[in-house]
Structure 1
Amino acid sequence: MSEFTEKLIASIVKENNQGYLILKNSWSLFDSNIGVGGNTHSFNITIRPENGQDIIAEESIKPEDISFSSPDKGYKIRLSTQSFNSVSSQVNRYSGKFETLVKEYTTADNKVVGPTHEFFTLPEGDISLILDSQEPQDQYVDSPVQSSLNSTASASTENLFSGINKDTNVQQNAQVSSSPKKKAFLIPLIAAIAALLILLAAFLVWKGFFSGDDAVATQNPAVTEAQSSEEPKNEPALEDESKKADDENKKAADDGKSLESANTDENNQNAPAEAVNQEPQSPAENQAAAQPSAETPAVSANSTASSGSPSACTLSSEKDEVIISSCLSTNPKIEVISTLSEQSLNNDRCDLGKRLLSSYGRKDSSAAYMFAKYFDPNSTAQSKCIKKDKTQALYWYQKASDLGMNEANEAIGKLKE
């Protein structure tokens, strides 16, 4: 197990003839985009016996096959039928005790991000073999896992159904041996039916049911009807052309109106963009701006009324997944994430605050440094959501140092004194 994480638990379940791997209490270990619609990060999983090295199943998961599981505070991963059946067939052999290695990687360049996390894995409920799945689906082609392990899983699946294949071969041999008898019986029957049909056709010709004059007579009305059905189409075609001309004139007028409205919308959108690009004010300027004036209330009221909705990265009563998804869709700066994390921790939204800091702390030095200070016994940063922990503080300070923050080295030295 990792030195800086608690013991991690996972379970394998089957729901509606589909296998799933559930990673419990793992929301803070991986990127916050995973499981809420993001497609930039995903998982590589390797399932093996507990304390063993034999690989039972290995699979790279597609981002769309991962969902965030709120009850478990973790992730629900859809397994391929091949992976699930490989585990199901080994339950008795290993007494139902497995371990799962989970690596996070970026889908753009297949680069592994962060450490490998080990989960003690147990099957739950009915995990019998999936026999009638309409899968198979190929391994995720953009992942770093190679397809060489497919042969191992295929061999175990063939062993499972070897008895069935033998029975099938016996039945096929029996059918092949009986086929000559059926052919010997069918050939005379088919010949007799063909002879009867020939005699019937000759009798009908002899009686005059088929004559050349009747065939010509029946063809001529068809030609006449076809000509009559095509002639009256010319006049409606002229009417259709005049209608098309009128429609094109109306469409041109509508396009002019749409262009004017588009220009107006573009001017309205430029104003908020310029406001976002302004440099942050100093604390003294913020304090001066906070002082009330006679004109400020009116301006604030008008701006609130025109905006219509709060910022996507503002703490609200929405669920954590909704806030994270809405905020990340705006590509926020790290300062915005830090502010949202601090607001969450100060308002007892513990999971949201810790999840944001843990996710961004693995790729941004300021987020890692901020998270470390909450754990640091020497720091004044406090929250009901985070207990002081020297080990965790050292971990996140080291992460901030690796990302280029020199202040983190000083904090590490103080903790080691």
Structure 2
Amino acid sequence: MENAKRLSKLHYGWIVLVITFVTLLVSAGIRSLPSILMLPLEKDFGWSREGLSGVVSVGIFLYGLTGPFSAALLLKFGIRRVMIVSLIVLGASLAITPVMTALWQFQLLWGVVSGLGTGMMANVLGVTVANRWFEKRRGLVVGILTASAATGQLLFMPLLAKITEDAGWRNAMYTSVGVVAVVIVIVAIWMRNHPYDIGKPAYGADRAVAPIAFRGSIFLTPLKVLGEAIKDKTFWLLAGTFFICGYSSNGLIGTHLIPACGDIGMTTVVAAGFLAFMGMFDLVGTTLSGWLSDRFDSRWLLFWYYGLRGLSLLFLPQALNMGYTEMMIFTVFYGLDWIATVPPTVKISSNVFGKEKSGMVFGWIVVAHQVGASTAAYGAGAMREVLGTYTVPFVSAGFVCFFAALMAIRVAKVHAAKKA
């Protein structure tokens, strides 16, 4: 009886949060598969590291480019319907992948189809859920959902790497299809679009408010919002720092840490284990970042996050050469800062551009993030092909992060001027 009463008092926004968390976790985890497949596909088909990196690069770019239009789709068709369609597209690409025989097919399935499918369930989904379902604790919610995306990418790697090593990469694909099918059922049954649909106010709000109907073109409205946003210096500064964020996170470490560990004799499972630990600490760091962004100046949070990330990347080549203990130190330090930049960036974006447009504006900022990630995914692979080592990509990314920290100071100045 007491449990029933507690459930009745539980705001449905928290249930929506859990469903979104699980969906983003699974989507991002499956999106990490090309990193695990890089070495097996090199062995099975003889494809080059540069060619495989190109597939990852295209997928990352389309993942980001989908964001602003995904925000419009979420507003027009509702969260649940867009999530189901995205999951079906992702599951279809997974199911077809085991029968591919050429690099162009891998590019089509994972560079294009998977990139678009997972792009509709990217950070924009988390921002939309937070804005619709939460009036209070919004920064914390954004932190949790952001952490789920990054952590899923990292936590799934050891499991999928183990399946790949023991049973082959095709069985890892079939396992992923099964997981996606389960998530589709969960979303279809329990997901809701808006608190008004169940006659409830958003968490922390006084009364239920009907959502504003989306009026406009799914394709033209995001472009119109972009046209307005580019007139503001804050947009360019946030987009610039987020370009560097993508360059130094999923594009570089998420794509190339496992191959870099393989170059020095570590197994894929051990390397994926490092990423799993990184994901665990990211869950703590990014959630904490959301909590901090509710209480402290988001602009200075960005300054410290980028600066500390730069230091960790300068340490990485030494850690790889020194051994497991040093790699664990890097894993913990870098993991806490993996994508902690998102909650402060969302907070500034919402404050400057308004809650209604924040999803699409942040979607365009994420495009810059994924362009940076795409650049690193391909560029690091190409440099490894030429130089035979990842030292230059890792060290250069560290110094670029210091530049992002300086840009964050400029964000502070511009934003302060707007508030005055």
TM-score (norm 2): 0.22
Higher relative contact order (CA 8 A, sep 6+): 2
Which structure has the highest helix share of the two?
2
Which structure has the highest strand share of the two?
1
TM-score (norm 1): 0.22
